Structure 1
């Protein structure tokens, strides 16, 4: 007879295996594993890249990525986000082609715009190192629009393996070019070419799959149907684009302001801190947020108080998970960055030290902010996005006018973000409390006996 602890262990083992064998779990694991591996490759290669490129060159890359990030939300005017919605594959195919056409047009317009005012803009931003390389940005934008659009098509087709493969190949291809050009000592063009190849290569891989599997479906697309589809889904460019742009601007404006006020070197240090610390924490937050939505959604109507209990329970658990890594970063980040990435990058560790508490707040609060979406409080989220944007921009501008140092400006930035995240938690909790109160009042009225 087996000991009880072994029997219990085997029961748990069998339970885990049965969960992993579930079709939905397998698909999620495939997609998440591709993302994790791709980010892991980026992080592991960072010590090499920081010895091939200096902080100033990384700073120019951050300007490039920030500008691209701000315009990327309108690369396809958000029509791509509707691809998974229609039941009819032919209608979805029209959305696909429409998104690709718009992405090509936007890239052309961006190229024309850069030709006209690009040099003046980068001069204004004190990013003169990008002059001569602006022709790469329309290529990156088209590659980004292509990849985003075809990613939604792959999600519609439930081709998770293809998505996972492209994410890994994007990281590998990007790093191959960046390290190769870095060893040849051609400077920052290696970082920019890596970005272009990553975006174009990822979209190209999915385009091959589309050509092989859905060519006949694409032949059903006509100009008349494209016009009808554009009108039918007009809410996406009219409403979704503006909301997405505000959200993106709140994230991408900081590197641009830092370059403008303190130079590209400071922006390069911030970029490394985000790549090594911020991006992995964002991935954890996204995963936890998905679990929270999955666990909490059934409670919205039937057990609203259980949703509130889940909200505070997850907040406590996330804080407990994050407090020790935060303490380690707050104490030793400068030394760790100096040791791992080289002496030029010690200041990036100091920035991480300053931002450590902010990263913890983000880890705890952002996943739980899905409460606003679950309770359909989208306007609340929209106003918060605007408020965060105003707070961050005003804080950094005030720091600059008061002649604060770059490090002091990062302290102000950290404080502004922390205030923003705390306010987001308060908003989410208030929305949840209101929902619970309203639901319980309606239930009590329903149970109240009719007056005779």
Structure 2
């Protein structure tokens, strides 16, 4: 019976990942397909400026959610979900306003510091992209929590198609055609996720309200006339208090997490100039897109399953093992292809001036192979209550990756050596987080098993 049940569970899970991945392939596959056109419409300096906006706004957008995107996965009720969404969107708007003020004040310094003149005129993209990224993270978490895989697939497709359409159609406008693509894609993805999710949230809200009204009526008829009403602000405060560990620790963890991902690109742009950063940015774009597609699809599916398991106290070690093994096979196959074909492929597809990016791809591919394995399961640390462990790892990765760039550039090393040092530091960081996740899952299994074996004693009846 157990084998039959396991097979049925797998039969339900595999199509879910396939559905999400299909939408991702449509959206991000389109982004990859038009890359040869973009490299001919925009120069390396434009791609360098894109790397700056992507890095800074991803960092700020992750912080702006104040951890609500992670807390949504384990929130116990629909009311708590609504409170967390409202709080997250509010803090996102506040942070975006502060970013806009800072970007306008520092627009000339940004353009000079990153050797990207377009940033002086397009400073307004910083707040717009920040709020787009944070809203995208929050809405995506609500959809993943409810395991609405079709909505996730639609969101992924809409995001990539909208970004690509903007990049191509707005090319005559200059750098804004490339730099605004990220915010256009994210906002389109949010709108693509809303219809189904909004309907279900309204239905859940109506159902909860009806149940609460019925319960209140029954209670009022059976109890004394005096009653104590709980205001909305009190309920909101109770929700935020119950999830304070996420709200207080996770924002800083998310900040360090995205800093660890995007910080090296910013440092490379500062130390080597936007042209060298452009070559690295194209490499990151080409390697990161398929890695992101696969990792994001698995993370969206597993996030809902992990969250449900954590809420119910079910062990997740078997699911973790299956995900890691399958992604390791995919990462190894991708690594082999890049090592053999990257320089030639970059030269033929993107033009001879981008051959150097193909060489960088060979150096960076081991890091991306380990990342595709670790990225979808890293969320388990915070979901299992290991927010501080997540925080320490995010800080450690930031030190490793950014330190590798700072040390090599300060020593006057060539860009190739800097990229190699960055790749090695990323491999070390992602292997370490896999070890930490495994330890957290084992501890969770022990707690879950002991809870099942020794259930709490029933309360004595009160006469």
TM-score (structure 1 length as normaliser): 0.77
Residues 63-103 of structure 1: CA deviation (Å, up to 9, x unaligned): 00000111111222122433344443233222222222222
**Structure 1 residues 158 and 57: CA distance shift in structure 2, 3 A:** same
The corresponding residue for 2:57 is 68
User: Following the alignment from structure 2 to structure 1, what is the Cα–Cα distance between the partners of residues 337 and 152?
Assistant: 35
Structure 1 residues 187 and 240, CA gap change in structure 2 (3 angstroms):
same
1:281 partnered with 2:285: no
CA distance in 1, matches of 2:139, 2:442: 40
1:236 matches 2:223: no
- Structure 2 distance, partners of 1:400, 1:189, is 30
Pair 1:390-2:430 in alignment = no
Give the corresponding residue for 2:260.
250
Aligned to 1:204: 191
* Match of residue 419, structure 1, among 425, 428, 436: 428
> How far is the alpha carbon of 1:287 from its aligned partner?
6.0
Aligned to 1:106: 95
Aligned to 1:193: 180
Correspondence for 2:358: 349
Change (3 A) 1:213 1:360: closer
Residue matched to 1:332: 341
Tell me which residue corresponds to 1:358: 367
Counterpart among 110, 124, 128 of residue 139 in structure 1 = 128
C-alpha distance 233-272 of structure 1, shift in aligned 2 (>3 A): same
Aligned match of 2:410 in 389, 401, 426?
401
Question: How far is 1:241 from its partner?
Answer: 0.9
Q: Deviations over 1:92-134 (max 9, x none)?
A: 2222222222222221121122222343244333333311101
Q: Alignment length, in residue pairs? A: 413
The whole-number CA distance in structure 2 between the counterparts of 1:153 and 1:381 is: 22
Which digits, 9 at most, give the CA deviation of each residue in 1:223-267, with x for residues without a partner?
554445444433222111111211111111011001101111222
- Tell me if structure 2 keeps the 8 A contact 1:75–1:106: yes
Aligned residues of 1:94 and 1:229 also touching (Cα < 8 A) = yes
Cα 1:374/1:264, change in 2 over 3 Å: same
Corresponding residue of 1:58? 47
Distance (whole Å) between structure 2 residues aligned to residue 347 and residue 43 of structure 1: 18
**Counterpart contact for 2:268–2:277, Cα < 8 Å:** yes
Q: 1:224 to 1:65 in 2, by over 3 A?
A: same
Contact 1:150 1:206 (C-alpha < 8 Å) held by counterparts = yes
Structure 1 distance, partners of 2:433, 2:236, is 39
Change (3 A) 1:99 1:307: closer
Q: What secondary structure sits across from 1:127 in the alignment?
A: coil
Partners of 1:423 and 1:86 lie apart in 2 by: 28
State TM-score, norm by structure 2. 0.75
Relative distance call for 1:207 and 1:363 in structure 2 (3 A) is closer
Which residue matches 2:458? none
Give SS of 2:180's match.
helix
